[in-house]
């Protein structure tokens, strides 16, 4: 897309209406939500081949649905990141064939909802996923068609890639801070249960799902010692 592309012009204008002091990822998220005519939006990037990290979500429901996908390891965002294709998930009836567990849990959280997961491809590789949510108006289509959503996600990904703050690991708050605490908690579970890191992280995710809470919340409880996992002959507190 050229700088004069009408979609880029509309995106730039939408960003200009958001508070200038906020992080670019937040401004992009708000702008893409408004351009697409969605109820909510989130931006998630891939920090490695196996990890996804949410940079920003416009509301609590979007945050919970993104966290649910991380906990379960399934959902439209995960699939879009792998397939490089737009993925749509309707949880209006509590069932969606590719992601049944996610769809049922999402229906409990949000009721009727439709999620559009659009891969961000600033170049040939998928950098992350722009997710758009129709919750209050789950049966109302977005204002943009599929091909336009793909272009919008590519432009969003390009902006995030060029944003130095989005890639900084030195900040002591926000998504990088949350991710670091999850890694710290995983390390503590490794010691407590004698597991490898992947299995220790799976324990944290299972506890988050069973407790209907976020992975970050479970990590915080592990780090402040209010939750301690014990070997099989004991019980988790």
Domain residue ranges in the chain: 6-161, 174-223
Task: Give the whole-angstrom CA distance, residue 139 versus residue 80.
Answer: 21
Q: What is the DSSP letter of 141?
A: P
Nearest in space to 166 (alpha carbons), one of 28, 34, 3: 28
Architecture of the CATH domain 6-161: 2-Layer Sandwich (3.30)
pTM: 0.74
Rounded to the nearest 10°, the torsion over CA 109, 61, 94, 80 is: -140
Mean pLDDT of the 96-123 span = 87
| 172-209 pLDDT, tens digit each | 555 556 667 777 778 888 888 887 787 777 787 787 77
Instruction: Output the pLDDT for position 233.
Output: 59
User: How many whole angstroms from its chain centre is CA 97?
Assistant: 21
Task: Give the whole-angstrom CA distance, residue 191 versus residue 189.
Answer: 5
What is the Cβ-side half-sphere exposure of residue 22, based on CA atoms within 13 angstroms?
A: 15
The hierarchical CATH code for the domain 174-223 is 1.10.10.10
- Alpha-helical segments (H) within 170-233: 174-193, 197-210, 215-223
Query: CB-based burial of residue 208 (10 Å sphere; 0-12 exposed, 13-18 middle, 19+ buried)?
Result: buried
Q: Extract long-range pairs of 91-99: CB within 8 Å, 24+ residues apart.
A: 91/115, 92/138, 92/139, 99/74, 99/75
The structure tokens listed for 155 are 């432009």
Higher pLDDT, 174 or 155: 155
């Amino acid at each position: 897309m050229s700088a004069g592309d009408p979609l880029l012009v509309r995106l730039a204008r939408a960003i200009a209406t958001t508070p200038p002091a906020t992080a670019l990822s937040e401004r992009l998220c708000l702008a893409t939500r408004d351009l697409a005519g969605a109820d909510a939006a989130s931006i998630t990037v891939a920090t490695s081949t196996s990890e996804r990290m949410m940079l920003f979500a416009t509301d609590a429901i979007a945050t919970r649905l993104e966290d649910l996908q991380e906990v379960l390891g399934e959902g439209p965002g995960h699939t879009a990141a792998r397939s490089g294709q737009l993925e749509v998930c309707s949880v209006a009836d509590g069932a969606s064939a590719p992601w049944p567990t996610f769809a049922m849990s999402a229906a409990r959280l949000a009721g009727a909802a439709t999620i559009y997961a659009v891969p961000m491809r600033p170049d040939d590789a998928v950098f992350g996923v722009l997710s758009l949510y129709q919750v209050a108006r789950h049966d109302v289509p977005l204002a943009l068609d599929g091909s336009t959503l793909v272009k919008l996600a590519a432009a969003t990904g390009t902006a995030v890639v060029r944003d130095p703050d989005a890639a900084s690991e030195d900040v002591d708050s926000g998504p990088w801070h949350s991710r670091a605490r999850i890694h710290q908690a995983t390390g503590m579970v490794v010691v407590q249960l004698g597991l490898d890191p992947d299995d220790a992280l799976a324990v944290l995710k299972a506890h988050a799902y069973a407790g209907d809470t976020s992975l970050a919340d479970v990590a915080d409880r592990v780090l402040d010692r209010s939750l301690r996992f014990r070997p099989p002959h004991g019980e988790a507190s």
